[in-house]
């Protein structure tokens, strides 16, 4: 009896449409996040994450409608992130049907936002998203980045994760920028470093390229594993990831 490892597909949504390439033959509309969410649900995904990359106000409003429609049709937890910068943003997303909200840059600018959200809605709704990469001259060897990994935030990544947990984050979504897009596997060193410093759940993200990449992430300390591209292109199925985890002795649903 113990928690199963959560396998979480992540969808990038721009103005209500899924952006990255999708390769599910059974889909009528591969760009529809709701239909894709239903598909992942049917395939055994344990949670879903929507990352809203809309640049415009109208785009964000459309994403809100997508969140509502998804929450009415898919009965697994839904996290929404992207551009969330205030308690009001969080309130709107929760009312639309999100169960958790991911906050990234806004918390770097104003760390008190973490405690404001946690105090109002409970820490279980707040996922702190950290884009981390290796950097010489930091205490831990890892720093926080912004702008998709292009800029340094001037923060030690491990120290930031620990501080966010203290402020009331319920979970850390750890995006390894060095591994992202490589499909060479998760950044195990980074995962281990965060795991040693925080006692809230950690979601591993970045670098997954094959089913066998997932068990080492759990062994390095991940409570959940997130991937986008490999699921969307049908390169690896949710069920294959679960099979690999099960074979390695990790409980799955």
- Residue in 31, 77, 111, 192 binding another protein, rule: CB under 8 A: 77
Tokens of 140: 């831990």
CA–CA separation, 182 vs 202, rounded Å?
A: 21
Beta-strand relationship, 126-134 and 78-81: unpaired
Q: Is 131 a catalytic residue?
A: yes
Residue 249 near another protein by CB under 8 A: no
Beta-strand relationship, 142-146 and 151-156: antiparallel
Binding mask 89-128 for another protein (x = CB under 8 A): -----xxxxxx-------------------xxxxxxx---
Tokens of 25: 């033959």
- Residue in 25, 57, 88, 199 binding another protein, rule: CB under 8 A: 199
Taking the complex as a whole, how short is the minimal distance between the CB of residue 29 and another protein, in angstroms? Answer: 22
Which residue out of 32, 41, 89, 131 is catalytically annotated?
131
Instruction: For residue 90, count other CB atoms closer than 10 A to its CB.
Output: 23
- Residue in 51, 200, 211, 226 binding another protein, rule: CB under 8 A: 200
CA–CA separation, 245 vs 252, rounded Å?
A: 7
Piece of the chain touching another protein by CB under 8 A; list 56-64, 69-77, 134-142, 232-240: 69-77
Residue with the two structure tokens 């103005």 = 15
Closest CA to 127 of 78, 176, 92, 88: 78
Q: Rule CB under 8 A: which residues touch another protein?
A: 1-4, 6, 41, 46, 68, 71-73, 75-77, 94-99, 119-125, 170-171, 199-201, 223-224, 253
| Catalytic residue ranges | 12, 131
């Amino acid at each position: 009896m113990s928690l199963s490892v959560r396998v979480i597909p992540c969808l990038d949504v721009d103005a209500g449409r899924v952006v990255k390439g999708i390769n599910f033959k059974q889909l009528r509309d591969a760009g529809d996040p709701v239909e894709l969410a239903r598909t992942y649900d049917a395939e055994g995904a344990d949670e879903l994450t929507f990352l809203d990359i809309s640049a415009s106000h109208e785009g964000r409003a459309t994403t809100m409608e997508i969140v509502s429609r998804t929450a009415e049709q898919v009965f697994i937890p839904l996290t929404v992130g992207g551009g969330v910068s205030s308690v009001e943003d969080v309130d709107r997303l929760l009312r639309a049907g999100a169960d958790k909200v991911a906050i990234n840059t806004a918390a770097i600018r104003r760390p008190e936002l973490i405690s404001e959200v946690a105090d109002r809605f409970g820490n279980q709704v707040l996922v702190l998203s950290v884009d981390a990469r290796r950097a010489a001259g930091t205490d831990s060897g890892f720093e926080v980045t912004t702008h998709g990994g292009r800029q340094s935030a001037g923060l030690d990544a491990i120290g930031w994760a620990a501080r966010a947990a203290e402020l009331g984050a319920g979970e850390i979504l750890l995006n390894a920028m060095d591994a992202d897009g490589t499909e060479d596997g998760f950044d195990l060193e980074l995962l281990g470093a965060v795991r040693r410093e925080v006692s809230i759940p950690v979601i591993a993200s970045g670098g997954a390229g094959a089913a066998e990449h997932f068990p080492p992430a759990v062994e390095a300390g991940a409570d959940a594993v997130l991937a986008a591209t490999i699921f969307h292109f049908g390169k690896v199925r949710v069920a294959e990831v679960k099979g690999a985890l099960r074979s390695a002795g990790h409980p799955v649903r």
